[in-house]
Amino acid sequence: MGKTVLITGAASGFGRGVAFNLARKGCQVIAGCQIWPQVWEMRQAAQAEGLDMKVIKLDVLDDIDRAHALALDIDVLFNNAGIMESGPMVEIPMARMRSVFETNVFAALEMAQGFGKKMVRRGSGRIVWTSSVAGLVKVPFDGAYAASKHAVEGICSAMHEELAPYGVEVVTVNPGAFRTGFNDTGMESMDQWWDQAERVVDHWPERELTHQADPAEMVTAIVEVILADNPPYRTMRPLSTVTMARDEQAAIWDRKAR
């Protein structure tokens, strides 16, 4: 029998791709979906493939849903649920900023704490966090999301060291731009509030996301991280972004105020 893996944010994007790939490989997949219609749809899709996948309602912001999930016994938590809100930092409504952190940071940490404690008591387990290339570099007009993923990087770095002595592994996966729709709708999100007040800076320049990669590349990499005996601490795709991130981090040391 394969590993038992709980996936948050499993209804779409990387979460969905990883859920189906792991189920096809014989893992015991528990796919967490935010709303009931997603649960029903994903159950139907799994049944159509003849896959034995457990699909549950798991809104990571909901105390009842989290408690239901935390009662389960798993080998791996894929902490994947996340949202993106765009906008310049001087303009973005604080409610939007807080919303990003509630989902991407605080709810994810609650999931990691809950399962992390169970894993420590057992002496084994793995927590895989979806971070981002944006957690390591500057991302103008997407500072809220980037800041949340910088926070994830800090949390994961600490948890990795804190839990290693107890046999619990903490690793990150860091996607760049992939064609899941996440980036496209995230860019669009600022249009919801932009015209509701006078602005002192310009709107995000109009641009098409024409250079996004096939998400299958990232899904394959995440599946490997979940199944590997000793995966790397950080897995970034596309591979071209690794050099970009390293170069940009180095360049920050020479950055000037203007």
Look at phi and psi of residue 9 and say left if phi exceeds 0, alpha if psi is from -120 to 50, else beta: left
Residue 128: how many other CB atoms lie within 10 Å: 24
Known catalytic residue: 166? no
Listed residue (139, 161, 179, 156) closest to 225, CA to CA: 156
Q: What one-letter code names the amino acid at 12?
A: S
Asked if residues 181 and 17 have their Cβ atoms less than 8 Å apart, the reply is no
* CA distance linking residue 154 with residue 159, whole number of Å: 9
Q: What one-letter code names the amino acid at 35?
A: I
* CA distance linking residue 45 with residue 159, whole number of Å: 35
Catalytic residue among 145, 153, 182, 222: 145
* Active site members: 145
